[in-house]
Amino acid sequence: MFPVIETERLRLRLPVPGDADDLHARRNEPVVARFHDYPLPFSLDRAQAMVADADDDDGSDGWRILVVTDRRTDETYGDVAIGLTFDGRCAEIGFTFASAHWGNGYATEAAAAAIDHLFAETAVTRVLGQLHPENKASARTLERLGFVFEGHTRLSFWVGDENSDDWIYGLTRADRDAWRQRPRSVPGRVELVEIDSHNARSFEGLRTHKSQERFVASVQASYADALFPEVIDGAPLVPWLRGIVADGVPAGFVMMAEVTATNPEPYLWRFLVDRLHQGRGVGRVALEQVVTHCCDWEADSVRTSWAEGPGSPRRFYEQFGFEPTGELVSGEIEARLDLR
């Protein structure tokens, strides 16, 4: 079922008896075990049993692990666990890496190699990923592989006496192909287009990653806020909505609060780039055009706000020149870009 798999930096292989000590050590790290489905302490006997049971069988249902090592030095970084069901036609994936090796992209690289092997060489048609809602790092790893968020189950998972919700991600062969074939180059043309009855649904269908939803409201929610805008100093805000089009394809959405007598400073209310178009520079070019519109309104500055936390857009805005004002807007950090 699983031959040795190599990537640019990594080697994935079935475990050997000498891997038990490393497996035992990393699974006993509290920060590693925090969101996993086993209670601490994780015994050496259990690690040895996992290694002993991980021999490559005939592909029948069950779990096996692949040890992830450095391709050049053979240093062990972690492991990828794969559980097969429905006679090997569906799979669930998990990954465990020692904390010393976090932040290097190893989990994404290793899981991608394992998934591509499953789709290319086996009967697997779908891969499942399940995780604790607070496990944002693993959520972002799944999203970087093209997984699609499918559901949120409540109080559905137990580890010992602890009960939690679960996030469910799925990846089909078609999902993986679409993700690998998504546009990645800088677009030749980015436009802000008016949204009307003819194209509203094209932009309504755009999505961020699930892990980004705490920072970016959906297009549907923005449409609702535009229909029933907030009232400031006795007058409603005036929404200015535009779709972001990259090389002729809907790629994002922006909504401003226009300059009015009661709102003299434009406010960047919503800004979203679709998950399939992130990382291409679409957001920066679109923001440059938004700023141009603010200058056309003869505004001296423009404000926005962001929430803090892993994955926050703070760095994007600060690199563009926005500076925090020291104020909070609905619990978010307010920032201003000087246009003078």
Straight-line distance from the first to the last Cα atom of the chain, in angstroms, rounded to the nearest whole number: 63
The 8-class DSSP code of residue 122 comes to S
For residue 256, pLDDT over 90 is answered with: yes
Write down the domain spans for the chain. Answer: 5-180, 190-338
- To the nearest 10°, report the CA torsion of 9, 12, 18, 22: 70
- pLDDT per residue as tens digits for the range 296-327: 999 999 999 999 998 999 999 999 999 999 99
Q: Which of 242, 320, 337 is nearest to 285 (CA)?
A: 320
Average pLDDT in the 4-16 region? 96
Would you state the structure tokens that stand for residue 268, as one six-digit string? 């960047």
Average pLDDT in the 281-306 region? 96
Q: Of 57 and 95, which is predicted with more confidence? A: 95
For residue 207, pLDDT over 90 is answered with: yes
- pLDDT confidence tier of residue 132, bands split at 50, 70 and 90: very high
Q: Which of 156, 88, 95, 157 is nearest to 126 (CA)?
A: 88
Q: Which of 260, 287, 252, 257 is nearest to 269 (CA)?
A: 257
Percent of the chain topping pLDDT 90: 87
For residue 264, pLDDT over 70 is answered with: yes
- pLDDT confidence tier of residue 53, bands split at 50, 70 and 90: confident
Average pLDDT in the 258-262 region? 91
SS3 track for 123-182: CCCEEEEEECCCCHHHHHHHHHCCCEEEEEEEEEEEECCEEEEEEEEEEEHHHHHHHHCC
Q: Which of 44, 27, 47, 17 is nearest to 96 (CA)?
A: 27
This model's pTM is above 0.85: yes
Whether the domain at 5-180 and the domain at 190-338 fall into the same CATH topology:
yes
pLDDT of residue 55: 64
Average pLDDT in the 195-202 region? 96
For residue 213, pLDDT over 60 is answered with: yes
- Give the DSSP H or E segment for 229: none
Topology of the domain covering 190-338 = Aminopeptidase (3.40.630)
Phi, psi dihedral angles at 21 (to 5 degrees): -65, -45
Topology of the domain covering 5-180 = Aminopeptidase (3.40.630)
